[in-house]
Structure 1
Amino acid sequence: MGIIDDLKMQYKMGGIAVQVIFWNLLCFLISLVFFYQFQLGIFNYPNWVALSSEPSVLVTKPWTLISYAFFHYGFGHLFFNMMVLHFFSTLFLTFFNTKQFLGLYLLSAFFSGLAFVIAYYFLNLSSAMVGASGAIMAILVATTTYRPLMNVRLLLIGNVKLWHITAVILVLDFMQFRIANTGGHIAHLAGAFFGFIFIKLLQNGIDLSRILNNPFKKSKRAPFKKVHKNYPKSAPKPSSRIVVKDKTQQQIDEILDKISQSGYDSLTQEEKEFLFKAGK
């Protein structure tokens, strides 16, 4: 019970990125029980779990545009993807909230899967796909689009710009496009494109993550609406609240500038805790 309790605590306290990693781990355990062929040493996913490139199969099983992004072909595939997801999600959540993270993960998985099916249809190829790589690429490119000059510290290399890392990964995908795992590289590039579009739309006031958060529900907040109200003499003036908010925002901006110049690891523990509380 100690290990189970510890896992439950990590799931609750770890945030949305850790929860997504837990979902992937759970799906992998399920696949070991039901879809792993021990005699052959391979996973054999049915077409109601993996994403088939056949449009006729997709029409009858549309949920596979999401389900495929939580299953993997092996422990190495899972381990690498989850390590990369944890690293990139830390960068993304420095600037954006948990709903935007989850929305980007699911929507980019959907878009990447759809791009895979369409591309294989025109290439006259047939295959199936699982893996979170497309969604992970979307998270990386989204963060890079928003803060391309952000410094990231890499082991044995030191500080590099975030856009350098992204550029190298994209070039490798283009170089290996027709060599091996064509479907995977299509998903990577589609996810990268979606991550770019997601941020550009967000900068123009369109948050695609709202699609998964009741898009028909009217916002309780009325932005940019100025209201004049008379306050009794005994009531505290609202100006003090505005000052506090301005100071908080100023401190957030200073921390974000520090991240863009020196990387997330340059923050003090107090700055990290402040940024974490401010993002809630």
Structure 2
Amino acid sequence: MSAYRQSPFSNLTPVVKNLLIINIIFFVATFILRNTFDMDKWLAVYYFNSPQFKLWQIISYMFMHGNIGHIFFNMFALFMFGPMLEYSIGSQRFFNLYFISGIGAIVIQMLVQALQVHAITGGITISHPELESSYTAYGPLAQKLYDIYNIPVVGASGAIFGLLVAFAMLYPNLEMMILFIPVPIKAKYIIPVYILIELWLGVGQYGGDNVAHFAHLGGALFGFIMVKFWRLQRPNNYF
């Protein structure tokens, strides 16, 4: 037996490797600096009419994560599917796909939030959102309105969903092992089912669910659009 064992990270493609590193750095820094600098306040993304919204947040939010489980599952998906996809479409397109999907995700999320604000107030913005009285005027819906304006969105999930959709389109018959499912399932089946679950959860708006499901759906939508726009084809030797 050879004494040399190849590291599982040795075959990482350049963009995937750098995204993993940056996400981990941001996650660690969030906890190291939490008593001196609130990274969520500046780098998570808020509703566009919130006084806490900054334009750069539509990029920076992709590197912020709420907890260890959140970053683990996102980075695990990036680690598992990213290298094969980057190798297939090239680093520049992979980079563009990742960030366009992530930006598209927050655009869709804000559109949904705008509809929710309109349903409550009759408009997509409110005057003086920094004042508590701007929310209490809407009675039982005040908390919902307050949450839209003051709870930010974080995570790479939208970008990851864009990658997953692209992967399923380019490698539809590749069998995938999914946690808690003992048999392999082809990508063309599992990814659409996953998206339908996200749609069901997003429309249902179940109590206690603080996941931005429409951001996930937005990332998936933009991933699909980019594959079609670039006219990407399945590799001839895919399995």
Output the TM-score relative to the length of structure 1: 0.62
1:77 to 70, 90, 94: 70
Equivalent pair of 1:88/1:136 in contact (CA under 8 Å):
no
- For residues 155 and 225 of structure 2, the distance between their equivalents in structure 1, rounded to whole angstroms, comes to 22
1:147 maps to which of 171, 183, 186? 171
Higher alpha-carbon Rg:
1
Cα pair distance change 1:158/1:95, threshold 3 Å: farther
More strand by share: 1
CA displacement, residues 117-176 of structure 1 (integer Å, 9 cap, x when unaligned) = 221121124131110000000000012123323333557634421111202211221221
Identical-residue share of aligned pairs (%): 27
Tell me how far apart the structure 2 counterparts of residues 61 and 45 of structure 1 sit (CA, whole Å): 13
* Partner deviation per Cα, 1:52-96 (whole Å, 9 max, x = no partner): 0142547x6110000000010111211111111211213422421
Scaled by the length of structure 2, what TM-score is found? 0.71
Quick one: which of 31, 46, 69 aligns to 1:52? 46
Q: Which has the higher contact order (CA 8 A, sep 6+)?
A: 2
Maintained 8 Å contact 2:40/2:64? no
Aligned to 1:4: none
CA shift digits 1:96-129 (9 cap, x unpaired): 1111111111111111112222211211241311
Whether 1:170 and 2:149 are equivalent positions in the alignment is no
For structure 1, list consecutive stretches of 5 or more residues without a partner in the other structure: 1-9, 38-42, 206-252, 261-280
Please tell me whether the aligned partners of residues 54 and 121 of structure 1 are also in contact (alpha carbons under 8 angstroms): no
| Counterpart in the other structure of 2:120 | none
Measured against aligned partners, the alpha-carbon deviations of 1:32-60 in whole angstroms (never above 9, x if no partner) come to: 122369xxxxx9654321100142547x6
RMSD between superposed Cα atoms in Å = 2.9
In the TM superposition, 1:130-279 aligns within 5 A as 130-153=154-177, 157-177=182-202, 178-179=205-206, 180-181=208-209, 184-203=212-231, 256-260=235-239
3-state SS in 2 of match to 1:176 = helix
Amino acid at match of 1:171: L
Where does structure 2 lack aligned partners over 5 or more consecutive residues? 1-8, 118-144
For 1:21, the equivalent position in structure 2 comes to 20
